[in-house]
Structure 1
Amino acid sequence: MGIYKHLVPGLLAAAISSQVSAEEPTKLLFGDTHLHTSYSFDAYLNKNQTADPDTAYRWAKGMPVIHPYNRAKVQIQTPLDFLVVADHAELMGVIRAVNNGTAELEDMGLWGNFKRWLTTYVINDAIENESGAKVFNEILPRKPQQATQDPVLNPDNELPIPAFGDTTKTETTAWKEIVDAAERHNDPGTFTTFHGWEWSSIPVGANLHRIVFTPDSAEQSKQFLPYGSDQSQYPEDLWTWLEETQVRTGSRFVAIPHNSNISKGFMYAETTLKGAEITPEYAKRRLKWEPVSEVTQIKGDSETHPNLSPDDEFADFETYSYYIQQASEDYRVAPADYMRSGLKTGLAIEEKIGTNPYQFGVIGSTDSHSGLASAEEDNFWGKFARDSTPETKVSKDKLGGSKNTGWSMASSGLAAVWAKENTRDAIFDAFQRKEVYATTGTRLSVRVFGGWDMDESSLSADDFAEQGYQQGVPMGGTLSANQEGKAPQFLIRAVKDPNDANLDRVQVIKGWIDGNGEQREKIFNVAWSGDRQLDSNGKLDAVGNTVNLETAQYDNSIGAPELTTRWQDPDFDPAQRAFYYVRVLQIPTPRHGLYDAVALQQPQEGPATIQERAYTSPIWYKP
């Protein structure tokens, strides 16, 4: 039951990790599956008129590009390995085409054409005067109210269609251009692109969006037009469309639930969106199409909330409390809005029906609308193009009229994937088996294997991963009960981002259903830097803080470059369903608001420092 901690000096750790990485059966890739360009109507209305899919791919590959708003030459510091351009299906490319005069629109008669001209005039004026958020609210208004059952059918929840008439031709042209851009930039083995979009269901302002992508060919993707929430706002209907389109075209799909923190209690609820009981059939369909969820991005972090995890000292991290449309509605915390409580709800549902609808892996992504997948604190370009400079982060014309500013946003996140190679099929397969994890923007490496007889010496072996696969299951896997009733063991290795901060600690978060049917959680500190000791409650002193608030600089004089351990659950009950995921924390570093404050020579807004982190997909135990 002991805790094993191994620290490797910096240069040696980097050398070992690099060598092992080259020999492992799967390699670590970092990407973004949620990036918007000028083809998204809300991006275009918020001053991204030039950063198209080509710009997005060039930025992600490390090339210098021109920023769509401030026109500066900008460049990512560390290129990505893969990217999904996921523009909104609704009005895909339409606002862009209307504004530049290339829209293919139907003849609506004298009065209809006049209304369309008037709408176009208002949009163009709003874009010119940077009041695009107001137009956005007029196109997609939402009432500030909370529905208890079936919010889609709420009488005040109509989805108005702008006065453009049938936009199918314009959307089809845009989709083909997006697909062609992905094909031009796909370079198997070096940089991978996917065809994707965002299905933007938002009943009563509850963000229930899904990112959908396919690893298949342009020929297949051009046989369909992305399914949007203007066709249906129910996820079941999206799954039906995916099933039918797969049969018709042979295309494979993954649907990724949007960061859940602003879903108003619907994303991981105990019932379906229609308010019905979750059945085994529903659970299996959700498992099939939604194996992975997004848990951290620009609009905050969805791991957990202080109200839901009061004993978690790191729960209040990039907490985002602003709904999309409702300026007058206060934020309400619901268990179904957060990953950890959603995972526990899944265990409880499985107890009743035998299938867990929320047995999902986790990733991070940006949800940037600037065309730039920027998740680096000192190179963060905001949510929208027009909040890309320190001065414009306090714009009075905010999206939805909410009280948030550019400093309310998080410089997050990234999708980390353990794949056999950097190709569409290999990355897609990793998503399907959930061997993926989320980071808040850092490139730290995390490996986790769970089993019943894990060899501690494997942690220092050159073929660590190969031994891990042989002895147990990786993140995203499931452990079944063993005859001896042993407690599961976990081999964990975390290595710092070579260009970022040292590591503070490694934690295992356990969730389970106890003997009384109650949902429980516990956090274990399992490896840490320095000579700190656990107290009687299993707590660990803070690692310290080297950030200079006057210069926005830090150093790696604290923390460790690598942390490894073999850990065994000391509280294991073989009769109780459980999940285990790993959280790795870096030492404190400057948050993007501090960099702005130093540049502006004024007090920063929001936290000055941040402990970047990673969350792995869980390993589940089933009795």
Structure 2
Amino acid sequence: MPLLRKLGLVGAVSLAGVATYVLGIQQNWYGQPWQAGEITAPPASKHEAVAERAVAQAEAISAVGAEGDKQILFGDLHVHTSLSLDAYLSALPLMQGEGVHPPADACDFARYCSSLDFWSINDHAESITPDRWMETKDTIRQCNAVAGDPENPDVVAYLGWEWTQMGLTPENHYGHKNVVLLDTEEDKVPTRPIAAMGTALTTIQNAESGAKKFLLPALDPKNRQIYYDFERFIQDGKTELCPQGVDVRDLPNDCIEYTETPAELFAKLKQWDFPTMVIPHGNAVGHHNPQGASWMNQLTSGNHDPEMQSMIEVYSGHGNSEEYRKFLAYAEDEEGNPYCPEPTDNYKPMCWRAGEIIEARCLKEGESAQECNDRAVITRQYAIEAGHLNFAVVGRSELEEWLDAGECTDCFQAVANLRPDTTVQAALAVRNFKAGPGESERFKFAIMAASDNHTGRAGTGFKEIGRHNAADISGPKAEWLSRIMNGMPNEPLTQPVAIDGHNTEANTRFTERTRNFVYTGGLIATHSPSRDRKAIWDAMKRKEVYGTSGPRILLWFDLLDDEGNKPMGSELEMAEMPRFRVRAVGSFKQKPGCPDYAVTGLTSERLENLCYGECYNPGDERHKIERIEVVKITPQITPDEKLGDLIEDTWKVFECDDQGQGCAVEFEDADFAEASRDSLYYVRAIQEPTPTINGGNLRCEYDENGQCIKVNPCYINERTDYADDCLAPSEHRAWSSPIFVDYAQEQGSEG
């Protein structure tokens, strides 16, 4: 055969091979289907460790003088695996991810690494197809099946999902909610989870083949199989949506069910009529909530169900959503037009800082002071109209330019861009004065905390080790790749750029900044008479729960009553002065490594890959409780009462002399009867400062006036060493659920 013909044949074969390869990528031939993983049954030593913990807790209860036959159990009711699309994306190697973590990983982590008493799976319903829901149910059942005696299991696993809603305006925004189910049997759980209509669902449903199919394997060819599998996961998630207006039991089994409002979600859950809890979370996080959002639209139109929705998540890996502040990030004039409010003490709105950046650039270019001031005014208006994309009005702004604008600088482990009107304190203070049938007058939330972890790691807050593993820190390591994946930035501009705040496709490269407000996450604690799933569930329904920022602090909060003390979460009416008692014991200091049952139960490779070589491993010494803080809130009695005037934080403070025995205090409200208005009280037990991942947030440098003049953020990319945990001292804490004391008019006092 002539040489040219041979070369031509080789070229044709090569071209055909390339074409076949390209077609294979296009048709997802190379992607492997999703696998739920395998669960590892615990050794007998795990049950022995659980029994030893109960003994140690009993000793602490005795030392602090607490009474009763209930034990405190710790759990995490907000856990994502790679079944959630955002979690899968973070697992990719180009995002410095470790690979997928299926539901079985969450069970093993809760059992061996964090040694929780209970947990729930809460993947985003938007990416849970019927097949994936079946796999999730099977995994939760297996996790419980190997837990030992159902009345005394080593860990209880609950089934659930997340309803993920983000409205573009305050009127249509309701936020994220976790749905948790009591039972796991096939005939006692919904046939399908219920998603929220919105960006997440439409993104999955409208996913089309594109350049990313070829780009990701090309950028990281050695890990190309992972990207093929990811693309297969996306395409397999495109399932037909269920028809609307049909009873849940009459819907097809092979569709994705959705609702647009909490009222519709509650209605569907009532049709199923299974024991269910709905837990709102992340409500004060700026990039999750539009400017101007508040709790009021959830007290109307049936958007709150106090029977199902009785708890709220105060803290998670996204930070602390508790604290109300009077500062304004957004304001409206008398005609309802938005404008940028001026800075106040300790707070500068992002829109204001945007104007300062443009003004400084303008002056540097040599323009007149008046011209640059005019540009600053325009910039601030553009920024306020851009909503949570306000940073994008400043062309190619770097993280450091924004200093600490938009942040709560005196909040404990703050969320990024705090929205005060959607904090937990705001929810407890607001009242609906036009409540009609099917509407609620007030929220009477119990307080809990969780991790919101996205790598299947339930309860990661046991040690402040492994910033990227434990605190959901992910993103491109190379700065050049970060800029490509987020859109090549514009050159620094001296003129503002008008941005449509409703454009969800706009550049979102501000992620680097928000990652400085990510933490290892919190826990929910219950006062339960036993370890079985129904006892734990009943404790949560009684609101006998509290939250911690991660450490397993022991906390009791009671109203003292001659007829029997009322625990945290209680609701009562009285006219006389209420008296209270608080008891708190610090968490155990941790030893390095893992306990014997984890080393025995897991292979060394899995212990390293799943637990990153560290586990909950308590020593004999406890951290000290430094003080007890009391918060008092008197809910509105007129619509014009400002929330900041009703929230007394901090109402009382008690310093503790904790020498290892814990702290106990009593107090009363001598003004309650004279004020004659409903009140609620909750407490914080503050533990001694300990090194904490991102405890310093942006790590500001301050001038003599206390103003931030420079930031030293921790980066996702190589600008910060991967091994740097960005530790700073922080006072970890436990938040009790409130005791709600409504004022009761004394009989015979009228007339």
- Distance between the aligned counterparts of 2:524 and 2:480, measured in 1? 29
TM-aligned CA distance change 1:386 to 1:568, over 3 Å: closer
Q: 1:509 aligns with which of 621, 631, 645?
A: 631
Stretch moving more, 586-595 or 486-495: 586-595
Partner of 2:678: 577
Tell me, yes or no, if the aligned pair for 1:176 and 1:222 is still in contact at 8 Å: no
Q: 1:437: Cα distance to partner?
A: 0.7
Instruction: Verify: 1:401 aligned to 2:512, yes or no.
Output: no
Which one-letter code corresponds to 2:83 in the other structure?
A: Y
CA contact (8 A) 2:528 2:535 kept: yes
1:268 to partner: Cα distance: 5.3
Shift of 1:505: 0.5
Contact 1:13 1:562 in 2 (8 A): no
Q: Say if 2:163 is the partner of 1:225.
A: no
1:345 correspondence with 2:345: no
Separation (CA, whole Å) in 2 of partners of 1:389 and 1:258 = 23
Q: 1:243 aligns with which of 253, 267, 270?
A: 270
Equivalent pair of 2:467/2:724 in contact (CA under 8 Å): no
| 8 A Cα contact 2:144 2:156, kept in partner | no
Alignment root-mean-square deviation, CA: 4.2
Deviation, structure 1 residue 43: 0.8
Are positions 1:588 and 2:689 aligned together?
Answer: yes
Contact 2:77 2:120 in 1 (8 A): yes
Aligned-partner residue type, residue 217 of structure 1: T
Written as runs of structure 1 = structure 2, the 5 A alignment for 1:350-365 is 356-365=441-450
In the TM superposition, residue 383 of structure 1 has moved relative to its aligned partner by 7.5
- Residue in 2 that maps onto 1:563: 663
Matching residue's letter, 2:548: T
Report the Cα offset of residue 528 of structure 1.
1.4
Asked if 2 retains the 8 angstrom alpha-carbon contact of 1:394 and 1:406, the reply is no
Distance in 2 (alpha carbons) for counterparts of 1:235 and 1:566: 40
Indicate the SS of the match to 1:401: coil
Partners of 2:183 and 2:57 lie apart in 1 by 38
Residue 257 of structure 1 deviates from its aligned partner by 0.5
Aligned mate of 2:280, from 257, 280, 298: 257
Measured in 1, the distance between the counterparts of 2:731 and 2:724 equals: 17
1:422 to 524, 528, 531: 531
Distance between the aligned counterparts of 1:186 and 1:324, measured in 2? 45
* Deviation, structure 1 residue 201: 1.4
- Between the aligned partners of 2:623 and 2:327, the Cα distance in structure 1 is 29
Mapped contact 1:26–1:418 kept (Cα < 8 A) = yes
Cα displacement (A) at 1:567: 0.7
Show the counterpart of 1:269: 295
Distance in 2 (alpha carbons) for counterparts of 1:586 and 1:39 = 36
Q: Is residue 310 of structure 2 the alignment partner of residue 301 of structure 1?
A: no
- Per the alignment, residue 61 of structure 2 pairs with 17
Instruction: Report matched runs for 1:152-301 at 5 Å.
Output: 168-187=129-148, 188=150, 189=152, 190-204=154-168, 208-221=175-188, 224-230=191-197, 231-246=258-273, 251-262=274-285, 263-264=289-290, 269-272=295-298, 278=300, 282=302, 286-301=305-320
- The corresponding residue for 1:466 is none
Post-superposition Cα deviations, 1:75-109, rounded to whole Å, max 9, x if no partner, equal: 44xx11101011111112xxxxxxxxxxxxxxxxx
Letter in 2 for 1:209: H
Residue 528 in structure 1 maps to residue 655 in structure 2 = yes
* CA distance 1:390–1:344, change in 2 (3 Å): same
Q: For residues 384 and 495 of structure 1, what CA distance do their matches in structure 2 show? A: 25
Question: How many angstroms apart in 2 are the aligned matches of 1:393 and 1:419?
Answer: 49
Q: Give the TM-score, by structure 2 length.
A: 0.54
Alignment of 1:465-484 (within 5 A): 471-481=564-574
2: CA distance between counterparts of 1:324 and 1:369? 23
Per the TM alignment, residue 278 of structure 1 is displaced from its structure 2 partner at its CA by: 2.5
Partner of 1:371: 456
- Over 3 Å counting, the alpha-carbon distance change for 1:392 and 1:437 in structure 2 is farther
* CA deviations over 1:421-475 (Å, ceiling 9, x no partner): 112111111121111111100111110111445xxxxxxxxxxxxxxxx622111
Consecutive unaligned residues in structure 2, runs of 5 or more: 1-55, 92-97, 198-257, 329-344, 352-385, 394-405, 407-415, 487-506, 590-621, 697-712, 715-719, 744-751
CA distance in structure 2 between the aligned counterparts of 1:223 and 1:353, rounded to whole angstroms: 24
8 Å Cα contact 1:349-1:355 kept in structure 2: no
Aligned equivalent of 1:610: 730
Deviations 1:479-537, CA, capped at 9 Å, x for gaps: 212xxx4210001111111225311110110011478773512223342124xxxxxxx
Q: Does the 8 Å CA contact 1:364/1:415 hold for their aligned counterparts?
A: yes
Residue equivalent to 2:240: none
Q: How many residues align?
A: 458
Deviation per CA, 1:589-609, whole angstroms, max 9, x where unpaired? Answer: 111247999xx8899897721
**Same amino acid, percent of matched pairs:** 24
1:132-190 deviation line (CA, Å, top 9, x unaligned) = xxxxxxxxxxxxxxxxxxxxxxxxxxxxxxxxxxxx54344444444444444554322
Q: Determine the C-alpha separation between the residues in 2 that align with 1:15 and 1:393.
A: 52
Name the amino acid aligned to 2:689: P
Cα distance between partner residues in 2 of 1:592 and 1:332: 19
Q: Following superposition of structure 1 onto structure 2, how do residues 35-184 of structure 1 map, counting pairs within 5 Å? A: 35-47=79-91, 49-62=99-112, 75-76=113-114, 79-92=115-128, 168-184=129-145
Which is further off, 181-190 or 438-447? 181-190
2:584 corresponds to: 494
Counterpart CA distance in 1 for 2:480 and 2:117 is 33
> Cα gap change, 1:392/1:270 in structure 2, threshold over 3 Å: closer, same or farther?
same
Cα distance in 1 between the residues matched to 2:725 and 2:465: 17
TM-score (norm 1): 0.64
Query: Where do 4+ consecutive residues of structure 1 move more than 6 Å?
Result: 19-23, 320-327, 329-332, 347-354, 383-386, 388-395, 514-517, 594-597, 600-607
* Contact map agreement 2:453 2:521 (CA 8 A) in 1: no
